[in-house]
Amino acid sequence: MGVLTGTLLNAATVLIGGVVGTVVGDRLPERLRENVVRGVGLFVTAMGVKFAIDTSNLLFMLGAILLGGIVGSLVGVDARLNQLGDALQRRFARGGTSTVAEAFVTASIVFCVGPLTFLGSIQNGLAGDATLLSVKSVLDGFTAIALAATLGWGVLLTVPLILVYQGGLAVGASLFAGVLSDLQLREMSAVGGLLLMGVGLRLLAIRDVKVADFLPAIIVSPLVVAAFGRLLEALGK
């Protein structure tokens, strides 16, 4: 159970925050709700910058984001996520306009893309230490309030996703961390930070970055690091 402690805490804070945000959402002035989301957007952008600049080599990040973006576009990750959100909206919406799909997609990216998701799950899975996921839980709880107050109850649909996705990472952490080097984990974190910056731009309504299409970049990142290492070995450096 210790392996899933952080994930369960994270799911609980999102659930509570989502419920609170949904309940008080209509009672809050629209301008206040928008400012809360913009504030979260600024914070997410700053956090993304913090992790992104920790890359050991900008070429790693460039290669990962370009290759990952190509793969994501060909697979249509963003479109598929939106289709899933739309299907849920048709299933649960009861007349009128709804932002269920937008809430689900936005919250899924915010809660599941960040470096804390990977690093926290790995740390929790290997050592039973839920410190990083505890920090993430607090952040996600307040973010859930802001998103639910603005976009509605669709944020709550991310709770099962957190349990399955983040819990799966924690359970498989031993194998995951055993295969990857510290450098590869570092670059995955940096790429995750770059994607968080894209989420921040969306929340700030600056640019509608299709962040989901770049999700494969996180998986591609350790492959880029390994390929670069092989190239240096081949060159005798």
With beta carbons less than 8 A apart as the criterion, state whether 85 and 102 touch: yes
Q: Which parts of 16-132 are beta strand (E)?
A: none
Question: What DSSP letter does each residue of 121-187 carry, written as one string?
Answer: HHHHHHH---HHHHHHHHHHHHHHHHHHHHH-GGGGGHHHHHHHHHHHHHHTHHHHHHHS-HHHHHH
For the chain, the structural domain boundaries read: 2-234
Sign for the CA dihedral angle at 99, 159, 120, 9 comes to: positive
Grade residue 174 by pLDDT with cuts at 50, 70 and 90.
low
Residue 150, judged by CB atoms within 10 A of its CB (0-12, 13-18, 19+), counts as buried
- Split at pLDDT 50, 70, 90, the class of 93 is low
End-to-end CA distance of the chain: 46
Cα–Cα dist 190/60, whole Å: 9
**CA-based radius of gyration for the chain:** 18
**Are the beta carbons of 126 and 177 closer than 8 angstroms?**
yes
**Which residue matches tokens 């770049």?**
214
Give 46-77 pLDDT, tens digit per residue: 888 988 998 999 999 999 999 999 999 999 88
| pLDDT (0 to 100) of residue 63 | 93
| CA gap 147, 153 in Å, rounded | 9
Higher pLDDT, 3 or 61: 61
For residue 223, the tally of other CB atoms under 10 A from its CB is 14
Split at pLDDT 50, 70, 90, the class of 225 is very high
Q: Report residue 16's pLDDT band, with 50, 70 and 90 as the boundaries.
A: very high
Are 18 and 144 spatial neighbours (Cβ–Cβ below 8 Å)?
yes
Query: For residue 121, what are its two tokens?
Result: 């799950």
Q: What is the mean pLDDT of residues 207-214?
A: 84
Q: Quick one: pLDDT band at residue 115, thresholds 50, 70, 90? A: low
Distance from C-alpha of 210 to C-alpha of 212, rounded to nearest angstrom: 6
**How far from the centroid of its chain's Cα atoms is residue 22's Cα?**
21
pLDDT at 88: 64
